[in-house]
Amino acid sequence: MSETTPTYEVLALRFGTQTDRLARENFLFDDGGCAADAVLGFDFYIWVIRGDDRVIVVDTGFAADVGDRRGRRQLHSPLDGLRDLGIDPAQVADVLLTHMHWDHAGNLDGFPSARIHLQEAELGFCTGRAMRHAATSRPFEPLDVKTAVQKLFDGRLQLHRGPAEIAPGVEVHPAVGHTPGLQVVRVHTRRGWVVLASDSSHLWANIRRRSPFPILDHLSSMVEAYEIVEGLADGDDHVIPGHDPQVALRFPPLASAPRWVQLHESPTAAYDEAAELAGAAR
């Protein structure tokens, strides 16, 4: 790492939730660690990277009607959440999509000026032959995929083949398994390199216990992705999972916009694995 590498703020917005998910539904294999019928809150996030006169949005969430149809509740519009930070979505220059699942790639039309960054393998998958099957197409919204393709034709979709530097101190790295083109985002902060792991690890328990989430494309790749993510991060608490309710509880809120928590700051509470496995709904 160069001494001149800039540091960034990294912020997370808990914009949605699922309140009826059983804790054991978050793990492919039941190793006896989860309570059989405990209910665990399962949350949905978008992220913002800002600093060095730059704002980057990571994932764009889902629309309220799509969440309602899928049994997930939107707590705040992701677009309104950005406005809480003084960010006009229409002026955002770069959006990083970790993958194309419905809860990460909605609302793209709300970013008309943005360059959208996606792994080429991800676009190929969600527009390819695998979408003939309900089991593989279910996590995707056709409208989101169509919008991404339109962005490609508009010259606003930048497809990456492997790791890429988006800006000094901001990188994307493939960590496949959940989908064939999932990418994680590595950000240099004042506490070191933070990795927005997204759905390479839905919960801290997935990566720390090497216990995969059950929605996946390739099992061994997903397990190997845990090693990739850990190698990119400067510690366990520098890995930020994609859906863990503890993210919004462990990190300090931003004073000027308290719905956002600050991932560039050290966590204010210890990770509670027992709560995660036993089911500790909000």
In the chain, which ranges are E strands? 9-18, 42-51, 54-58, 73-74, 94-96, 115-119, 157-160, 164-167, 170-174, 183-189, 192-198, 239-241, 253-254, 257-262
pLDDT at 95 over 90: yes
Instruction: Label residue 222 by pLDDT band (50, 70, 90).
Output: very high
pLDDT value for 281: 46
8 A C-beta contact, residue 244 and residue 201: no
Q: Determine the pLDDT at residue 64.
A: 97
pLDDT tens, position by position, 44-69: 999 999 998 999 999 999 999 999 99
User: Any residues with CB less than 8 A from the CB of 30 and at least 6 apart, and which?
Assistant: 24
Whether 2 has a pLDDT exceeding 60, the answer reads no
Decide: 102 and 62 in contact? Cβ < 8 Å: yes
Summary mean pLDDT of the chain: 95
Angle subtended at Cα 45 by Cα 203 and Cα 145, rounded to the nearest 5 degrees: 105
pLDDT, one tens digit per residue, over 125-181 is 999 999 999 999 999 999 999 999 999 999 999 999 999 999 999 999 999 999 999
Q: Rounded mean pLDDT of 203-232?
A: 97
* Span 250-266, pLDDT tens digits: 999 999 999 999 999 99
pLDDT bin (cut points 50, 70, 90) of residue 32 is: low
CA nearest to 187, candidates 263, 111, 117: 263
Per-residue pLDDT at 277: 82
Which domains are present in the chain? 9-174+241-268 (3.60.15.10)
pLDDT at 38: 84
Residue 220: pLDDT above 90? yes
Continuous segment of H or E residues that includes residue 230 = helix 219-232
Asked if pLDDT for residue 33 goes beyond 80, the answer is no
pLDDT at 36 over 90: no
The Cα angle at residue 143 between residues 76 and 114, in degrees rounded to 5: 65
pLDDT of amino acid 34: 77
Going by the DSSP 8-state scheme, the letter that residue 237 receives in this structure is G
Say if residues 117 and 95 touch (Cβ distance below 8 Å): yes
pLDDT, residue 280, reads 58
Residue 224 has pLDDT above 80, yes or no: yes
**How far apart, in whole angstroms, are the C-alpha atoms of residue 211 and residue 214?**
9
Kindly report, residue by residue over 71-92, the tens digit of the pLDDT: 999 999 999 999 999 999 999 9
Range 241-257 average pLDDT: 97
Three-class secondary structure of residue 116 per DSSP: strand
| Contact status, residue 17 vs residue 29, Cβ threshold 8 Å | no
